[in-house]
Chains A and B, each alone.
Chain A
Amino acid sequence: MNTVFYISSVVGVIATVAAITGFNAVHSLLYLIVSLLAVALIFFTLGAPVIAALEVIIYAGAIIVLFLIVVMIFNPGIEAVQREKGWLGRGMWLGPAFLAAVLVAEMVYILFRNVSVGHPAGAGPIEPAALGAALFGPYLLTVELASLVLLAGLIGAYHLGRRHDTEETRQEQHREQETETEEQRELTDMGLPR
């Protein structure tokens, strides 16, 4: 199992590096899918088959596909690649790379300073049934909250993604203005400043 873990982790890291340093958006997203698949495999080795599946289905299958759709809308073309090359000179990577190195060094230090304390291994894969029981049990409220988050995301995405110069939105704006002037007239009738 460990070897699977090590190989998958190496693949994942390389794929991530390729994803963030790529010039073509679609290529980067595909590299990202590879990285996510590697991580799904790691989940499998860690005894979490359910979320390994969820990772592939939702993360790689829905979220990244959504990304791809939006990138396709833009239809970048060759000039996008040229632009990316222009924006990413050699010097750009230095600062963030330095910060990242410091951060990794800190985390390595935290993680490996008490190596003598060997942590016991996990008790094996965790049953989906246990997962379901936990979701319907102690974490019930959190599930509801998650649905609220999704609702908020839905509304936000709809509103932010609207075109503001279509017929529909023009009508909406017109109706808004009418109610606005009505409100102002009411206020002045009552003698209040606007």
Chain B
Amino acid sequence: MASVPMEQGLLLAAVLFTLGLVGVLVRRNMVFVLLSLEVMLNAAGLAFVVAGYRWGQPDGQILFIFVLTMAAAEVSVGLALLLQLHRTFKTVDIDAASRMRG
């Protein structure tokens, strides 16, 4: 089968990562922020797999598994924080939690 050149795979990963970054910076609803974070993590994992494919080693995939594990832990904690935010501030707007200003 014809192989995928590494640069294009990495380019895709870069684009997806950037899109996730934009989502983090722009959205005020915490759900969307966490969602965008997932997009970024996914893009990073994609980059790992592409690199592992280029060298022909399973190391890239293993690292992707770890990225996945970490994403899972992060999501659970993040959603718990989202629940706390909602309970304390009665809103899902992350700009509301800005008491540490100045």
Interface centre among A13, A16, A67, A103 (most CB of B within 10 A): A16
Chain A CB within 8 A of B35 CB: yes
**Chain A residue nearest in CB terms to B56:** A123
Q: Do A62 and B72 form a contact, CB below 8 Å, given A35-B39, A134-B59?
A: yes
- Cβ–Cβ contact A92 & B4, under 8 A: no
Tell me the smallest distance from the CB of A45 to a CB of chain B, in Å. Answer: 6
Tell me the smallest distance from the CB of A131 to a CB of chain B, in Å. Answer: 5
Residues of A within 8 Å of B7, CB to CB, are 111-112, 115, 119
Q: Do A100 and B53 form a contact, CB below 8 Å, given A20-B36, A154-B76?
A: no
Q: Annotate B48-76 by CB proximity to A: 1 below 8 A, 0 otherwise.
A: 01101111111111101110111111111
Comparing A145-153, A167-175, A179-187, the segment that makes contact with chain B is A145-153
C-alpha gap A108/B59 in the complex (Å): 25
Number of A residues near B (Cβ < 8 Å) is 85
Number of B residues near A (Cβ < 8 Å) is 71
Residues of B within 8 Å of A29, CB to CB, are 35
Binding site for A on B (CB under 8 A): 1-12, 14-16, 18-23, 25-29, 31-32, 34-36, 38-39, 42, 46, 49-50, 52-62, 64-66, 68-77, 79-84, 86-87, 92-93
Can you name 25 A-B residue pairings with CB atoms under 8 Å?
A2-B4, A5-B9, A12-B12, A19-B23, A19-B39, A25-B32, A28-B35, A35-B16, A36-B42, A48-B49, A48-B61, A51-B68, A63-B38, A74-B31, A95-B25, A97-B22, A108-B14, A119-B7, A121-B2, A126-B56, A126-B57, A134-B58, A153-B74, A157-B76, A159-B80
Binding site for B on A (CB under 8 A): 1-2, 5, 9, 12-13, 16-17, 19-20, 25, 28-29, 32, 35-36, 39, 42-43, 45-48, 50-51, 54-55, 58-59, 62-64, 66-67, 70-71, 73-74, 80, 83-84, 87-88, 92-93, 95-97, 99-100, 103-104, 107-108, 111-112, 115, 118-124, 126, 130-131, 134-135, 139, 142, 146, 149-150, 152-154, 156-161, 163-164
